[in-house]
Structures are given as structure tokens and as C-alpha cells.
Amino acid sequence: MKIRLAAELQPDSIVDGAGIRTVIWTQGCPHHCKGCHNPSTHDFQSGMLVDVEEVKKQIQQIRYQDGITFSGGDPLCQPEACLEIAKYVKELNMDVWCYTGYTFEQLMIMAHKNNSILEFLKYVDVLIDGKFILEEKSLDVAFRGSKNQRMIDVSKSLKTNQVKVIKKYEKKEQNTLVHEKYLFI
């Protein structure tokens, strides 16, 4: 299986999640957010196709990392390949964070047609969801570009069928966010 990447793996990031992380920059994004910092990652035909086994090998060789962060691009456009990589990351006892332009609720609906989405999310510890909205851009929100984006505890959210944001990353005024319930069918 292959994954389309925008760049080489980027170890030692301290801005793409908690701790020291290796970022996997996926290629291809359908969201076209105004003010996106990575417009070169939008094209689904660009970047490079890399064998998932090669990505796993590279991850195995990188030392002193707390986890892996899937970014892009939108990793949820390649859930099958991301699933295989995420499974391996867990075998190495590292955590998995993932950025997506889809909301959690949208992903749950999409998962009805493609179960790999749900399977991948089961290996994701923290999901940062939603498009980047330029009008809501903020430097005060941890690890995110705009205030609408949520840092979601995926495991708890899947268990309870309700989006659970991770409070320690939220500003006080954001703790009052109301999260819609969604249904599994």
C-alpha cells in the first residue's frame, strides 16, 4: 500500500502536538481554506507516492519521539494508509495526533461509507478537527490555527458518541462550547 506525501517525514517538531513529534505531511486536501499555510499540499496528484512499509521503516529509525502527527493536506483523505501507519506507531508505544479539515461529526457520517475512517480514528489519541477559518485565527489556542478547531479525545468521544474536547488545551471561554451529538448507524 502507498501513501501520497507532500514532504519527507519531519522529526523533532514541538509545534504539532504535545512533546517531541514526527510529522507525516500527507498530500491532497479538498477543503481550500482561505489563508491556508500549506496550499502546495492541496493537489491530489502532486507530492510523492511512498510505500507504507518505507514510512514505517523510517519511523522505526527515528529516536526520542513522543509520537507521530498526521498533518497535510488532509490525512483523512487517505485513511487506509494512515491506518496501517498508526497501527505500527502504537506498536512502538507512541501516541498519534491527527489534523483534519473535516469535523468529527462529518467523519462519523463518512465512516458509514468507508469503515477505514473509523478504524483509523480508533488509533488516534488527539484529533484536531475542522477547517482553518481565517476570521477565527488566533495565536491563543494551543496547537491550532483558528478558534473553531477542536482538540478531541477520540477514544472518549467514540465511547460516548459525543465529542469530548480535551479541556487542558482549551482557553476558558472555549470550555462552554456546545457539542452536537451524533449517531452511529
Nearer to ligand SF4, 67 or 130 (CB): 130
Phi-psi label, residue 107: left if phi above 0, alpha if psi -120 to 50, beta otherwise? alpha
What is the phi/psi pair of residue 171, to 5°? -75, 160
Tell me: does residue 38 bind ligand SF4 (CB under 6 A): yes
Kindly identify the residues of this chain, within the stretch 48-77, that bind ligand SF4 according to CB under 6 A.
72-74
Residue span 84-123 as binding mask against ligand SF4, x where in contact by CB under 6 A, dash where not = -----------------x----------------------
Helix, strand and coil percent figures for the chain, each rounded to 5: 35, 20, 45
Q: Letter for the amino acid at 72?
A: G
> Whose CA is closest to 9, among 44, 49, 59?
59
Given 132, 151, 152, 163, the residue binding ligand SF4 (CB under 6 A): 132
Q: Which one of 31-39, 51-59, 112-120, 169-177 is the stretch in contact with ligand SF4 (CB under 6 A)? A: 31-39
Q: Is 19 exposed, middle or buried (0-12, 13-18, 19+ CB in 10 A)?
A: middle
Tell me: does residue 31 bind ligand SF4 (CB under 6 A): yes
Residue numbers at the binding site for ligand SF4 (CB under 6 A): 29, 31-33, 36, 38, 41, 72-74, 101, 131-132
